[in-house]
Amino acid sequence: MRQAGRYMPEYRALREKYSLIEICKTPELALEVTLQPLKFGFDAAILFADILLLLEPMGAPFDFVKGQGPVVHEPIRTRAQIEKLRVCDPEEGLAYVLEAVRLIRSELDGKTPLIGFSGAPFTIASYLIEGGKSANYRLTKQMMWSEPEAWQMLMRKVSEVVRRYLRAQVEAGAQAVQLFDSWIGSLSPADYEAHVQPFVREILQDVMTLGVPVLHFGTITSTLLEAQRDAGGTVIGVDWRIPLDQAWNRIGHDYAIQGNMDPLLLCAPPEVAVARAREVMRLAAGRPGHIFNLGHGIIPQTPPDTVKAVIEAVHAYTHEG
């Protein structure tokens, strides 16, 4: 879960020379940043990329603006704009990501598996429509409720790009892929099922045929877990708002589960973080199919030593068990 990043001095040093986008677009730099956190002992490497990279080849370029986050130059709010969006081929518009995947795989081969990822259609659509982050997804929900045909056209286009993109990452060598539907927790279960789930299902049912683990992640999903599972994925990612055992019982033990420590705990005293990591492990009860992780992204203020302490504690717990 956003393993690499602003909490690591090595990453910050690199970011003084290159923008985030430059790192993503330069396979050698993406490789370097992908490998940085492995010194902590993670069991897998996560491709360094950004969920919004696909906006540019779709015809909706954006920039990261300091203090604001991503800003889409021309937010997508009309049917005419949606019609113009390109259902791009990742081999063209996102070739640099696939090149990074190949490079990282050749570097890691035989040691650590590589996880690729993409943003999910609702989350991507919300950035396209709002033009950036949103507190309430007003314009996104308005399109969803007011212009169902435009909404479906947008979701279909984004979904097809996401499907091709995840497929291409696996074909380039990613040994697992994750779909990040980070903002679905803003929706009622009825809206998720009516306006989002069908598109996620189309992506995941296809990607699952590739035979690699497919992780399906969201936040604030305590009432969406069954619907997420039914949409697809072999591993369901859950956040800290639900005890891991309850979540797993609801999803079903035929599925793997990923989670679910509050990422802010990494800013607590290390002994508190370690105790709470052990509590997550205790709730997983040694069942096969639990991937220990945070419930959402690691924050920049996280002390790297606490990350290391938690990873060691998780490994130690596994060996005790």
**What are the residue numbers of the active site?**
2, 6, 15, 50, 127
Among 223, 278, 289, 318, binds its own copies (CB under 8 A): 223
* 127 makes contact with its own copies (CB under 8 A): no
Q: Residues 6 or more apart from 67 whose CB is under 8 A from it?
A: none
* 249 makes contact with its own copies (CB under 8 A): no
Strands of 256-261's sheet, edge to edge? 45-46, 114-119, 176-181, 214-218, 235-237, 256-261, 290-294
Number of residues that bind its own copies (CB under 8 A): 32
* 191 makes contact with its own copies (CB under 8 A): yes
Determine contact, residues 58/121, Cβ cutoff 8 Å.
no
Smallest gap from Cβ 233 to its own copies, in A, equals: 20
Smallest gap from Cβ 224 to its own copies, in A, equals: 8
* 272 makes contact with its own copies (CB under 8 A): yes
* 262 makes contact with its own copies (CB under 8 A): yes
Q: Contact region for its own copies (CB under 8 A) — 24-32, 82-90, 187-195, 229-237? A: 187-195
In the structure encoding, which two tokens stand for residue 12, read together? 């910050």
Among 210, 267, 291, 311, binds its own copies (CB under 8 A): 267
* 149 makes contact with its own copies (CB under 8 A): no
Determine contact, residues 271/265, Cβ cutoff 8 Å.
no
Q: Which is nearer to its own copies, 100 or 280 (CB)?
A: 280
Q: Cα(185)–Cα(237) distance, rounded to whole angstroms?
A: 13
* 136 makes contact with its own copies (CB under 8 A): yes
Among 6, 222, 291, 308, binds its own copies (CB under 8 A): 222
CA dihedral 275, 279, 280, 285 (to 10 degrees): 140
Q: Which of 212, 185, 184 is nearest to 199 (CA)?
A: 184
Parallel/antiparallel/unpaired status of strands 214-218 and 176-181: parallel
Smallest gap from Cβ 192 to its own copies, in A, equals: 10
Q: Contact region for its own copies (CB under 8 A) — 4-12, 48-56, 114-122, 236-244? A: 236-244
In the structure encoding, which two tokens stand for residue 146, read together? 């007011």
Q: Which is nearer to its own copies, 100 or 120 (CB)?
A: 120
Determine contact, residues 153/82, Cβ cutoff 8 Å.
yes
Number of helical (H) and strand (E) elements in the chain, helices listed first: 16, 9
Q: Cα(212)–Cα(214) distance, rounded to whole angstroms?
A: 6
Smallest gap from Cβ 217 to its own copies, in A, equals: 17
x/- map, 64-103, its own copies, by CB under 8 A = ----------------------------------------
Query: What's the per-residue H, E or C state across 50-112?
Result: CCCCCHHHHCCCEEEECCCEEEECCCCCCHHHHHHCCCCCHHHHCHHHHHHHHHHHHHHCCCC
Q: Which is nearer to its own copies, 98 or 310 (CB)?
A: 310
Smallest gap from Cβ 284 to its own copies, in A, equals: 15
Binding site for its own copies (CB under 8 A): 136-138, 141-142, 145-146, 185, 187-191, 220, 222-223, 240-243, 246, 262-265, 267-269, 272, 279, 299, 301
